[in-house]
Structure 1
Amino acid sequence: MEIRRKPFQGVWNIIRFNWHFYAIVLLVFSLVFLFKGFLSVNYQIILQIGAFIMLAITAISLLVSYYIYDVSDLYQLKWIKISGNKKIININAGFDETSELIKQINPKIDLTVCDFYEEKKHTEVSIKRARKVYPPFSNTTSVQTNYLPFADETFDLTVAILSAHEIRNEEERILFFKELNRITKSSGEIIITEHLRDFNNFMAYTIGFFHFHSRKTWLKTFRESNLIVNKEIKTTPFITTFILRKDGSTA
């Protein structure tokens, strides 16, 4: 089944949720050319080069984001294969673009949606703006990262798409993944989709790639949570999906 999104939905969300950043870029670019006549020729050249580099970096990041979120098949969620009335939990960090898409894949699944966003802890203005534009999915449950209010081995599939990186503290992140381990059936899977702090994402987002975790960090988190990587998928050169199983379980 092909999942449809609005044209330019991904890149437009990035711009409107982070408009302050792009406003600063345009302001700096405008000021450089407005006041360059008051500077010496050498300073004019330096500032103009700097302004064009800044504008180029911004344009490249938006083009890459357009490719990832609007052109690639990321939101086809092809790695989610679940049939019948199986139980699936989708966990987000305050901005949920995927629960409705998961239901489109198979309307018969028993879907639980959780949100670990805490206003005092997660202070990014972009998430606050996103929450105003995109209301939570129906019956979304607010949870804590250190405790998910479900019995052991409740879910056949546990999913966290572009959300788990928001848990910045390593100890908190490991506790969260131990909870994912606990609530997932021994025969089930845990799917984690993320940008990585790697060369490709550095070339796309420069210092913005520090917002992501490295592959080494993720593998350590999985290992400390008694999870093993069953499969690793590169949806694009910038997005990695880890399909995890409980350590010692059989496929």
Structure 2
Amino acid sequence: MEIKRRNFQGVLNILSFNRHFYVFGFIALTLIVASQYLLDWNMGLFWLVIFGFIYGLGMPLIVSAYVYDLSGFYHFDWLKKMNLEDSDEKFNLNINAGFDETSFILKNILPKSNLQVYDFYNAEQHTEPAIVRARKVSMFYPNTQEIDSDKIPLEESSVDNIFLLSAIHEIRDHEEKVAFLKECRRVCKPDGNVIMVEHLRDFPNFIAFTIGFTHFFSSATWQRAFREAGFLSINEAKFTPFMSVFDCR
């Protein structure tokens, strides 16, 4: 199935899934503007606050448009450079948190390989409003199965590649992350790959998302989680200043 993305679909998704943030932000901005008629604002401070709100509301959309709509992320050239083998004998997993924009693309890139999709979303544990809304509009790949984050229902050393694409940060608890990655290591073949793409809690993402960058985890946190899960090789490469691709074995 060929998936054609709409123009600026990425930034439109950000607006839709995080609309509560933008509604409250615009209400607060309106109240601040109105307050200049009631309060004796220092004008320098007033415009600084206005700029801060406009920056906080607008910059995440600008960066999201760059990363998801203009950088070619969904063309997956970054994955094609890894030269993964594609054959009838290969078995790949794509694991998400209930919002799936990548499975059909992966199947198009690796058409001969078998692809199984798992969804680890748990309504009690993964409570972010954005992911709850995203699930309502997600496309579901055929035979997508719901799983617990600490149990992948496959035999040991049975998978060639596991894709974790902008989803695993929804596992907020460190111990749960480690348990999940241990399962990935268990089912992955000795020469297999776990390929993860994530924003990081770093300076570029602070510039992009201000306080929202705390929704992500640092490179050191991910490296520690992979090591605790038993991975020996952890390679990180940047895809734009705002996203990292981890290839772990």
Fold equivalence (TM over 0.5)? yes
Give the Cα separation in 2 of the matches to 1:82 and 1:128.
35
Does 1:106 pair with 2:114? no
Does 1:54 pair with 2:86? no
Give the Cα separation in 2 of the matches to 1:83 and 1:127.
31
Give the Cα separation in 1 of the matches to 2:41 and 2:162.
59
Paired amino acid for 1:172:
E
Give the Cα separation in 2 of the matches to 1:60 and 1:15.
12
1:171-186 correspondence runs (5 A): 171-186=175-190
Question: 1:33 Cα shift?
Answer: 2.1
- Counterpart in 2 of 1:30? 30
Q: Which runs of 4+ in 1 moved over 6 A?
A: none
Contact 1:197–1:214 (Cα < 8 Å) also in 2: yes
Percent of aligned pairs sharing the same letter = 41
Q: Deviations over 1:121-155 (max 9, x none)?
A: 11111111111112422211101111111001111
Paired amino acid for 2:213:
F
Paired amino acid for 2:189:
K
Paired amino acid for 1:191:
I
Paired amino acid for 1:20:
H
Alignment: residue pair count:
243
Corresponding residue to 2:246 among 234, 242, 245: 242
Paired amino acid for 2:30:
S
1:32-111 correspondence runs (5 A): 32-42=32-42, 45-77=44-76, 78-79=78-79, 81-85=84-88, 86-111=90-115
Paired amino acid for 1:142:
E
DSSP-derived class of the 2:156 partner: coil
Does 1:161 pair with 2:165? yes
Give the gaps of 5 or more residues in structure 1: 246-251
**TM-score, normalised by the number of residues in structure 1:** 0.91
**TM-score, normalised by the number of residues in structure 2:** 0.92
DSSP-derived class of the 1:228 partner: coil
Give the gaps of 5 or more residues in structure 2: none
Give the Cα separation in 2 of the matches to 1:182 and 1:28.
49
